[in-house]
Amino acid sequence: MSAFRAALLTAAAISFLPVAAQADDVAQRPQMRVDYDQAAVVKLDRAAKTVVVGNPLIADALLVSDKTVYVQGRMFGNTNIIAIDSDGNEVLNTYVTVGAPLTQQVTLYRGPIGQQNMACAPHCERTVTQGDKQMQDMYQDADKKVEVSSKSAELAAQRR
């Protein structure tokens, strides 16, 4: 074997070491799953002062008391949540997977029309879920409703 090839194989082996160590780290950390558009409660062993979310587009975490965190699934994917006490020590460091509900949901794939999701408990009803073509329109409609409600509240407050 040439010296160049041996050096190349050694470099390749070394480059995989951090990945293996990272995989071991993932296996050691606690993991939780939250359904999309749902919330879960995490009870902490010790008091925490701050909660940090790796990717707030995927999940959100709210520290409601020093030992209770609410985690909300916002978008499909994986992230992590870290809770820190007043001395800067980790109280919690967990991976979070946000996914589709595991029960009572049906997804219809309709070619160019796109996917349509149904919540089925006990009867199937149309729901809009991440990935649906209508999702953006629904968000825009919801934003318009909030805007109208806010303006209405401002006008009512001015009349008082």
What's the CA gap between 90 and 96, in Å, rounded?
A: 16
Q: What is this structure's pTM?
A: 0.58
**Same domain? 74 vs 43:** yes
More confident of the two residues 158 and 94: 94
Per cent of the chain over pLDDT 70 is 81
Residue 80: give the domain boundaries.
29-99
Same domain for 140 and 121: yes
The pLDDT mean for the chain works out to 81
Cβ neighbours for 116, distance < 8 A, ≥ 6 positions apart: 107, 108, 110, 126, 132
pLDDT digits (tens, 9 = 90+) for 44-93: 999 999 999 999 999 999 999 999 999 999 888 999 999 999 999 999 99
The predicted pLDDT at position 25 comes to 57
Average the pLDDT over 3-26 and give the result.
Answer: 50
34 and 86 inside one domain = yes
130: Cα separation from own chain's centroid: 12
How many domains in the chain? 2
Rounded to an integer, what distance in angstroms lies between the CA atom of residue 98 and that of residue 38? 9
CB-based contact 57:85 (threshold 8 Å): no
